[in-house]
Amino acid sequence: MKNLLFAVALLFGGLSEGWAKSAEDLQAAWYGQSNVGERVASNNSLAANLFYVGTATEAVVTIGTGAITSYAPYNVIDTALNFDLTAAANDTFGELCDKIDALTNYECKLKGAKRDDNTNLLRDQTQTSGTNDLKTAGGFDVRFDTGSVSGALTDVFIERIGITPEKGKRVIINACTANVNVIGTFDVYGRLRKYEGKDTPVRNDTTLVWSVATADDTDLTQTFSVADGTAGLEFGVDEHVVINGSSTTGIQAAANFLRCSWIER
């Protein structure tokens, strides 16, 4: 009888310890979360971030419809980062960012750009000392343009918010509001939490998980969380998420915007 009671005590003691650990983990995750929000207006939508970690005093870039070239320092071409954007191996953001990340002195981080977006959407830049320096704190954010050689360089069709959570955390979208010039779509892309660790089929920031049509110059608000804000649209740990408010035919006007709030936990 004593042996039976002792075994039961061990069993429940072990379970209690497991439950306590789970509660502690849950509490740590809860207090370690970040509540984040961002608003993108008009032509200020960010495509990608470029960063330089080499020994040159600065690194500036020239981006045209056919190439991206780094100068480190100003006016001195760095042949390591000199890519033909019309080549099949470099014509998507995923391909280009992977190549830049593989370089010793450069880093590329996708923001509003999806891996399958064409690199001709990079806004044109001319190397200018001190203004588009990849070595400054935070690197250099490259914006979108129309992707057309005939369009004004500051005009964009795309309004995007791109989210890369802190290492080891996941994105949980609470709510978004999109106001788009001309009828378009409001979309969310990424690998949902339920597909975490599943590699077939491939799911990433090119995977559409939610979409709705927009009206011209009209606020459209979508709430993903419950009333107390404890739930939302959940993505896998470390997954890049892209929220899109775009028109395929109309240039975004000054009053158009995309606004979202989310949790990183």
Q: What is the pLDDT of residues 28-51, one digit of tens each?
A: 555 578 899 999 987 688 999 999
**Residue 187 predicted with pLDDT over 80:** yes
Question: Strands, DSSP E only, in 13-127?
Answer: 34-41, 46-52, 60-63, 67-71, 77-84, 106-110
Q: Is residue 132 part of a domain?
A: yes
Question: What is residue 235's DSSP assignment?
Answer: B
The reply to whether 61 and 120 lie within a common domain is yes
Same domain, 134 and 193: no
What is the per-residue DSSP string for 8-38?
A: HHHHHHHHHHHHHHHHHHHHHHHHT-EEEEE
171 and 257 inside one domain: yes
> How much is the pLDDT for 27?
53
Beta bridge partners, 9, equal none
Rounded distance between C-alpha atoms, residue 218 and residue 216, angstroms: 6
Q: Which domain holds residue 222?
A: 33-43+157-264
Residues 139 and 164 grouped into a single domain:
no
Give tens-digit pLDDT for 123-146: 888 999 988 899 999 999 999 887
Decide if 63 is inside a domain: yes
The answer to whether residues 169 and 106 belong to one domain is no
Do 86 and 213 lie in one domain? The reply is no
In a domain, 138, yes or no: yes
Instruction: For residue 211, tell me if it sits in a domain.
Output: yes
Q: What is the pLDDT of residue 24?
A: 55
- 149: in domain: no
Rounded to two decimals, the pTM is: 0.84
Task: Please report the pLDDT score of residue 20 as a whole number.
Answer: 52
Judged against a pLDDT cut of 90, whether residue 8 lies above it is answered with no
- Same domain, yes or no: 59 and 39: no
The domain tally of the chain equals: 2
